[in-house]
Amino acid sequence: MELDKIIVSLLGFGGIGFIGWFFFGKKASSNAVEVGDAITIQVSGGYAPATIQLQKDKKTTITFHRTDPSSCLEEVVLSDFKIRKFLPLNKDISIEITPQKAGEFPFVCGMNMFHGKIIVK
Amino acid sequence: MSEIKETFSLKGMHCASCVRVNERALKNVQGVKDAVVNLAAETAMVTYDANTASLDSMKNAVKKFGYSLFRQDLEDGSEGAKEIYQLRRKVAVGAFAGVLILWGSFPFIMDYSPLFLRNFYIQFILASIVQFWVGLDFYKTTYNSLRNRLANMDVLVALGTSAAYIFSTAVTFFPHLFTRLSISPEPYFDVAAIVITLILLGRLLEARAKAGTSTAIKKLLGLQAKTARIVKDGKERDIPIEEVQVGDILRVRPGEKIPVDGIITEGQSAIDEAMVTGESIPVEKGIQDSVIGATMNKSGTFLYKATKIGKETMLGQIIKLVQEAQGSRAPIQKLADTVSSYFVPIVMMIAVLTFVIWYLFGPEPSFSYALITAITVLIIACPCAMGLATPTAVMVGVGKAASFGILIRDAESLQKAQGITTVVFDKTGTLTRGKPEVTDIIVARGPVASFPPTSARSSLASSNELRASRNPSTSTTPRVENAILQVAASLERGSEHPLAEAIVQKAESENLTFVQVLKFQAIAGHGIEGLIKEKKAVLGNRRLMEREKIVIDEMLPAVEKLENEGKTVMLLGFDGRLSGLVAVADILKDSSRAGVDALHRIGIETVMITGDNERTARAIGEKAGITRILANVLPEDKEREIRTIQHEKKAVAMVGDGVNDAPALAASDVGIAMGSGTDVAIEAADITLINKEITSVAKAVLLSKKTMRIIKQNLFWAFGYNVILIPVAAGVLYPFFGLLLSPILASAAMALSSVSVITNSLRLKNVNV
């Protein structure tokens, strides 16, 4: 095999391995942020913080602030709380939830590409 | 201390200085920690201590300067017109630049282009505008996503178009390098520019189509009245609906919308409630009747007291329920959700693999083939269609149902409703009107002298129905019939049985007075007894008469005849002898027969469940068209009966009133409750029929079937699209047919795939059920 083909093959398979590691590999653990009465989640290429911890039976205000223009992120869905909200760019959108049971509840973008998590204790 | 951050609506601002004035005014209120006013959105986000600062104090603070602040009311689910405008501008610029590049570079048509358009440097400038201004958002999202080690469709577009753009730029500025590597120095600026433009065009169409999925909420919001006419201190004035408080007295004139929910205190009118409840015939209402906000007053003028405002009104609850259902997730979506979370990285891997395979095994120029096929793979992949397949259909389906007066709790209920094989109806209040009426009073042939003298003010039975139903075999005067009614009603006054109310009401309508009953006692499953003028009076079924050893033979034919007509018969015994009977019937709703027939037409079995005896139940069931009858079922046993039917491997929907039937509704696969009053959120119910029409049951099932069919079509299309077209883009057809997909065609297909899924969902708006 010619040298260029060997290089392309090595780079190609290396690239595939890298993509797998980059997206599916173990990511630096994102610690859950404990929330008191309210929290603001930045929506930009995902959610920051992506994992928040709430207290059971306590009303909490979650404010989403989207700065990312992607239409993927223009909606946030908390299906366990039956909430689907449009997030206008650069605006605060607040929702109030009072979790009735403990557990982990995901929140996702309208197309389910970006994920966050609410841990209720 | 309980600190709250709340966004209020703030009206009356027109310049930036208004912002400062309001912020200062709000911050000066005791207990307010911070206030941020947004001129464009007309909102004030206030952080305050709820124990110290009140809404009124904040209202007053801004009112001094001529502004009005109030709680944000029913929210509109659609914003983003600004983003659509921005998108449109970018598509226009991209299309203009893209077409110029294409004209100067595409074989054949380039022969007719001005020379300067064939210049690679000019193409580079035009492509750069598209790449970095029109396509800027793709880069922003890619940067944000990769920082979080996540990827979405924008990453694929940014990667694909960047590959084309970078290669073309390199070819433009350093063509000799590529010639030396035997790579044709042909730029692909047209690919980069057109792909970005087409994908943005797809997004524009998608945004427009998506706006159509939430029109149900917009329509419901549009029903609200804008103002209310308040009557205070003898004066009337119009106020914004947001300022109406519970307890306010409001006037509604003919042709006006009723602003909020309440109870009529003066006057009467016919009210068209179709827009909220789906009830097609205007309803006559008078003093003490409740009225629903957003419905239309047709004829009279009336005053009413506001009892529910804002989100508490029936319309507010409907909107909340529809919004919640639209935010829920259907179980069928699970596979698409799992696939889409791995989708983009896998597509990236396939693109790299495609490049390697074409470079190793492709024909010359293999680099160009490898590059173009890898770009095509990145561009054609469409995770959005998978993500949109279910929620868009659920949104339209749930909204459509609401327009029929059918409220579906969530997407899961919608999915379950499509598989229903058996519908069990509760009788009273569901198939029937739930307001039993006395239809017959028959006096026994024997002497009635032992009866206490009637003290009726009116001695004649006035009801035509009563006269018509008088048993010809019994010769008696209306006075004696009234005596029977009087004794029966006096006994029933102490009873809580639903039929008791009918007898008492009948006595009242005949202006009869009640006689004193001593030692009243209800005998479960039999009837009631008491002492009247020191003599024992009993009212109840045949079992009670047997117990009391009262002979009823002479009336048996009449009893059976009445029961066969679906009437409940109560025999009256007085002083050890049979005196007569009172028959009570609950009239079948007008829509019951049609509703049951509609279910049969779509192959759904119907069952009626009731506490009535077999004969009465059968008679009612026959009128309604139901053959399977579960009679003599005590309320607490309904749940068990539902489970028994479920054991026959049937998916059961229970239709009941939502209050007494709550356990049975919860036990069924789909609980369907008839709406009661202005409370629409019935906890145990998956589906609430606010129009109380039996025909809505079949409509709900049909609509769920159609919604699920659309979802399945969408998912099939979205999966099929990717499963078929990604390999085609990678070039699997090339070895057999010499076919390769152009990246421009790929981007057009990709742009249309999401739009087609949404457009398919929107078809639900026009379905007839």
Q: What pLDDT is attached to residue B39?
A: 61
Q: What pLDDT is attached to residue B679?
A: 63
Using the Cβ of B150 and the Cβ atoms of chain A, whether some distance falls under 8 Å is answered with: yes
- On the question of pLDDT at B580 being above 80, the answer is yes
- CB neighbourhood size of A33 (10 A): 14
Q: What pLDDT is attached to residue A15?
A: 95
For A18, the closest chain B residue by CA position comes to B349
- On the question of pLDDT at B144 being above 90, the answer is no
Q: In what order do the strands lie in the sheet with B577-585?
A: B437-443, B577-585, B568-574, B535-540, B527-532, B518-523
The amino acid at residue B511 is: N
Q: What pLDDT is attached to residue B462?
A: 34
- On the question of pLDDT at B644 being above 70, the answer is yes
Of A74, A110, A112, the CB nearest to B80: A74
For B138, the closest chain A residue by CA position comes to A70
Per-residue DSSP letter, B405? T
Beta-carbon contacts of B750 under 8 Å, excluding residues fewer than 6 positions away, are B198, B199, B202, B379, B380, B381, B382
Nearest to B500 by CA among B479, B478, B517: B517
Domains identified in chain A, total number: 1
Per the CB < 8 A criterion, the answer to whether B130 and B97 are in contact is: yes
- On the question of pLDDT at B495 being above 90, the answer is no
Cβ contacts (< 8 Å) between B353 and chain A: which residues?
Answer: 12, 16
Higher-pLDDT residue of B424 and B325 is B424
Stretch A14-35: mean pLDDT: 84
Per the CB < 8 A criterion, the answer to whether A67 and A84 are in contact is: no
Higher-pLDDT residue of B319 and B468 is B319
ipTM (interface predicted TM): 0.81
- CB neighbourhood size of B288 (10 A): 8
- On the question of pLDDT at B501 being above 50, the answer is yes
- On the question of pLDDT at B645 being above 60, the answer is yes
Q: What pLDDT is attached to residue B465?
A: 33
Per the CB < 8 A criterion, the answer to whether B764 and B707 are in contact is: yes
> CA-to-CA distance for B410 and B397, rounded, in angstroms?
11
Cβ contacts (< 8 Å) between A114 and chain B: which residues?
Answer: 145, 150, 152
Of B149, B203, B340, the CB nearest to A23: B149
Q: pLDDT band for B311, please (50, 70, 90 cuts).
A: confident
CB contact under 8 Å between A88 and B80, yes or no, is: yes
Nearest to A72 by CA among A98, A111, A46: A111
- On the question of pLDDT at B158 being above 80, the answer is yes
Question: Lowest mean pLDDT: which of A23-27, B36-40, B602-606?
Answer: B36-40
Catalytic pick among B426, B586, B612, B669: B426
Q: What pLDDT is attached to residue B15?
A: 63
> CA-to-CA distance for B309 and B313, rounded, in angstroms?
5
Higher-pLDDT residue of B457 and A43 is A43
CB contact under 8 Å between A27 and B149, yes or no, is: yes
> CA-to-CA distance for B40 and B16, rounded, in angstroms?
10
How far CA A83 is from CA of A68, A70, B18, B320, in Å, comes to: 20, 20, 33, 10
Nearest-neighbour CA in chain A from B95: distance (Å): 20
CATH number for the domain spanning A77: value is 2.60.40.420
Stretch A91-105: mean pLDDT: 90
Nearest-neighbour CA in chain B from A79: distance (Å): 5
Can B426 be counted among the known catalytic residues?
yes
Per the CB < 8 A criterion, the answer to whether A99 and A57 are in contact is: yes
For A60, the closest chain B residue by CA position comes to B4
- On the question of pLDDT at B259 being above 80, the answer is yes
How far CA B450 is from CA of B480, B486, B546, B556, B576, in Å, comes to: 11, 14, 21, 22, 10
Higher-pLDDT residue of B497 and A110 is A110
- A59 falls within a domain: yes
| Residue of A22, A80, A111 best to disrupt the B interface, most CBs of B under 10 A | A111
Using the Cβ of B742 and the Cβ atoms of chain A, whether some distance falls under 8 Å is answered with: no
Beta strands B605-609 and B518-523 are unpaired
Question: Lowest mean pLDDT: which of A12-16, B2-6, B269-273, B286-290?
Answer: B2-6
- On the question of pLDDT at B458 being above 80, the answer is no
Q: pLDDT band for B472, please (50, 70, 90 cuts).
A: very low
- On the question of pLDDT at B452 being above 60, the answer is no
Q: pLDDT band for B518, please (50, 70, 90 cuts).
A: confident
- A112 falls within a domain: yes
- A22 falls within a domain: no
Q: pLDDT band for B678, please (50, 70, 90 cuts).
A: low
DSSP collapsed to 3 states, B532-554: ECCEEEEEECHHHHHHCCCCCHH
Residue with tokens 């009614």: B485
DSSP B603-651: T-EEEEE-SS-HHHHHHHHHHHT--EEE-S--GGGHHHHHHHHHHTT--
- On the question of pLDDT at B317 being above 50, the answer is yes
Q: What pLDDT is attached to residue B482?
A: 83
Mean of the per-residue pLDDT values of chain B:
85
Cβ-based burial of A116 (10 A; exposed 0-12, middle 13-18, buried ≥19): buried
Nearest-neighbour CA in chain B from A44: distance (Å): 6
- Tens digits of residue pLDDT in B200-238: 998 888 888 877 887 888 888 888 888 899 998 888 898
CB contact under 8 Å between B327 and A77, yes or no, is: yes
Question: Lowest mean pLDDT: which of B63-72, B208-217, B523-532, B745-754?
Answer: B63-72
Residue with tokens 């501008």: B89
- A60 falls within a domain: yes
Beta strands A83-86 and A75-78 are antiparallel
Q: pLDDT band for B477, please (50, 70, 90 cuts).
A: very low
- On the question of pLDDT at B641 being above 80, the answer is yes
Cβ contacts (< 8 Å) between A48 and chain B: which residues?
Answer: 148
> CA-to-CA distance for B269 and B287, rounded, in angstroms?
10
How many beta-carbon contacts under 8 Å exist across A and B? Answer: 150
- On the question of pLDDT at B750 being above 60, the answer is yes
- On the question of pLDDT at B553 being above 60, the answer is yes
Stretch B582-598: mean pLDDT: 90
Cβ contacts (< 8 Å) between A78 and chain B: which residues?
Answer: 327
Per the CB < 8 A criterion, the answer to whether B471 and B558 are in contact is: yes
Helix H or strand E encompassing B209: helix B189-213
Q: What pLDDT is attached to residue B474?
A: 40
Q: What pLDDT is attached to residue B459?
A: 34
- On the question of pLDDT at B337 being above 70, the answer is yes
Q: What pLDDT is attached to residue B509?
A: 85
Q: pLDDT band for B75, please (50, 70, 90 cuts).
A: very low
- A19 falls within a domain: no
- A101 falls within a domain: yes
Nearest-neighbour CA in chain A from B52: distance (Å): 17
Cβ-based burial of B369 (10 A; exposed 0-12, middle 13-18, buried ≥19): buried
Q: What pLDDT is attached to residue B41?
A: 61
Stretch B569-590: mean pLDDT: 88
CB contact under 8 Å between B152 and A113, yes or no, is: yes
Per-residue DSSP letter, B758? H
Nearest-neighbour CA in chain A from B329: distance (Å): 6
Using the Cβ of B421 and the Cβ atoms of chain A, whether some distance falls under 8 Å is answered with: no
> Cα B735 to chain center, whole Å?
52
Per the CB < 8 A criterion, the answer to whether A119 and A104 are in contact is: yes
CB contact under 8 Å between A61 and B5, yes or no, is: yes
Stretch A71-88: mean pLDDT: 88
- A12 falls within a domain: no
Q: pLDDT band for B460, please (50, 70, 90 cuts).
A: very low
**A77-92 burial string, b = 16+ CB within 10 Å, else e?**
bbbbbbbbbbbbbebb
Of B153, B341, B348, the CB nearest to A19: B348
Per the CB < 8 A criterion, the answer to whether B674 and B659 are in contact is: no
- On the question of pLDDT at B94 being above 60, the answer is yes
**Helices marked H in B214-333:** 215-222, 274-277, 314-326
Residue with tokens 């519908």: B423
DSSP B314-370: HHHHHHHHHHHHHTS--GGGHHHHHHHHHHHHHHHHHHHHHHHHHHHHSPSSHHHHH
- A98 falls within a domain: yes
What residues make up the domain containing A42? Answer: 28-120
CB contact under 8 Å between A46 and B342, yes or no, is: no
Beta strands B518-523 and B32-38 are unpaired
Round to the nearest angstrom and report the end-to-end CA distance of chain B: 54
For A91, the closest chain B residue by CA position comes to B41
Q: What pLDDT is attached to residue B446?
A: 56
